[in-house]
Chains A and B, each alone.
Chain A
Amino acid sequence: MINMFDFIDRILKVKDTIRIKVRFNDTDAMGVVHFKNYLVYFDDGFVNFMRAVENPVEPAVKSGIVFPVKKIDIVYEDSAKFGDYIIVETSIKELGERSMTFHHEIYRESDKTLLADVECVRLVMDLNSQKLLEISKFFLEFV
C-alpha cells in the first residue's frame, strides 16, 4: 500500500520539461506566437508531466477520465517567434481535495528568456458518472 503523504511529497518535487518547436501557424500578424497558443503548449506540459509521474493521460481519457481546466492565470513576459524552440517546465504547486494547481514556466530555449508564467487549476472528472474525483483517489488508482 502506497503511503499517500509520501506520494504527495514525491509528486510535489517532480519538475518535468518538454521541448516544443514553434510552428508557422502558431504565429499571428504581429509575427509572434498568438497568446492563446501558450495554452496549447502547457497542455503539452501537463500531458508530459502526467507521463513522467507514471499517470499517462491517454489511457485515462479512453476510460472516461478527463482533466477540465477550472482557472488559468498567465503573465506574458516576452514573445516567441516561428522557428524558436521553447521549453515548458511543469510542476504541481498545490494538491487540493478535488483540484490540482500546476505551475508552468515557458522559456525560449536559445537564451533561457521567460516567455510566460502560468498557474493552471485542473480537475479530474469521470465522464461516466459526471462526478469530480478526489485527487488522492485518482492517483492511488493509477499508480
Chain B
Amino acid sequence: MEIEKEQKIIDKLLGIEDFKEIEVRVDDTDLMQVVHSNKYLNYFDDGFISFTQKLDKDCGALHKKGIVFPVRKVEIEYLQSATFGDKILIHTKVTKIGNTSMTLSMDCYRNTKSRDTLLVKGTIVRLVMDMTNNKLIKITDFFSDII
C-alpha cells in the first residue's frame, strides 16, 4: 500500500470518536454495591464494537470468518464508582496506530446531562488476527476500505 494512502487511513482512524451508552446490570455490581472492576472490560468490548460499527465493520460477521480482535494490554484507572441503575457512557477514541496494533482510549462517564463524572480512564491495545492462519493483520490493511 502507498505510504500516502496508509497515512490517510491512520489520520481518519485517529479522528474518529464513538460514544456508546450502556446500563449497569444488577449482576455487574458486587457486595460493595458498586460495579466490579472487571465489568468495565465488558463495557470496553461494547465500546469497541460500537466503534467498529461506525466504520461499517460487523464484528459478529468478521468473527464468523475467523477475524478476531485479541487484547494485548489494558491499563485502567478507577476514579469513581458506578452502581445499579446508572447509565454509563463509553467514549472511545483511537490514540495510536501501530503496524499490527491499535491503542484506544476508553473513558467511562456516568451518563448524566452534564457528563461530568469520569468513572474510569481506560487504555486498551488490540490486535487484529486471522484465526484461519493465526497471523496478525496489518491495521491499515484491515481498515483499507474506510477511505
Residues of A that sit less than 8 Å from B by CB: 29-30, 34-37, 39-40, 43, 61, 66, 68-76, 79, 127
Q: Can you list 25 A-B pairs, Cβ within 8 angstroms, ordered by A? A: A29-B63, A30-B63, A30-B70, A30-B131, A34-B41, A36-B38, A36-B39, A37-B38, A39-B37, A40-B38, A61-B31, A68-B32, A69-B78, A71-B75, A71-B76, A72-B37, A72-B75, A72-B76, A72-B78, A73-B74, A75-B72, A76-B71, A76-B72, A76-B73, A76-B74
Chain B residue, CB-CB nearest to A123: B78
Complex Cα–Cα for A37 and B38 (A): 7
**What's the count of A-B pairs with C-beta under 8 Å?**
52
What per-residue 1/0 map shows which CB atoms of B65-81 lie under 8 Å from chain A?
00010111111111001
Helix, strand, loop or mixed for chain B's interface? mixed
Which residues in window 30-52 of B have CB below 8 A to A?
A: 31-32, 37-39, 41-42
Question: B70 — which chain A residues lie within 8 A by C-beta?
Answer: 30, 76, 79
Complex Cα–Cα for A98 and B42 (A): 29
A36 near B41 with CB under 8 A, answer: yes
On whether A70 and B32 interact (CB within 8 A), knowing A30-B70, A30-B131, the answer reads: no
Question: A40 — which chain B residues lie within 8 A by C-beta?
Answer: 38
Helix, strand, loop or mixed for chain A's interface? mixed
Interface size for B (C-beta < 8 A) is: 20
List the 3 closest pairs (A to B, CB-CB), nearest first.
A36-B41, A39-B38, A69-B37
Complex Cα–Cα for A37 and B68 (A): 18
Question: A61 — which chain B residues lie within 8 A by C-beta?
Answer: 31
Complex Cα–Cα for A43 and B31 (A): 14
Question: A66 — which chain B residues lie within 8 A by C-beta?
Answer: 32
On whether A70 and B77 interact (CB within 8 A), knowing A35-B71, A36-B41, A76-B72, the answer reads: yes
Complex Cα–Cα for A72 and B44 (A): 14
B75 near A73 with CB under 8 A, answer: yes
| Min C-beta distance of B114 to chain A, whole Å | 24
Question: B37 — which chain A residues lie within 8 A by C-beta?
Answer: 39, 69, 72
| Min C-beta distance of A2 to chain B, whole Å | 29
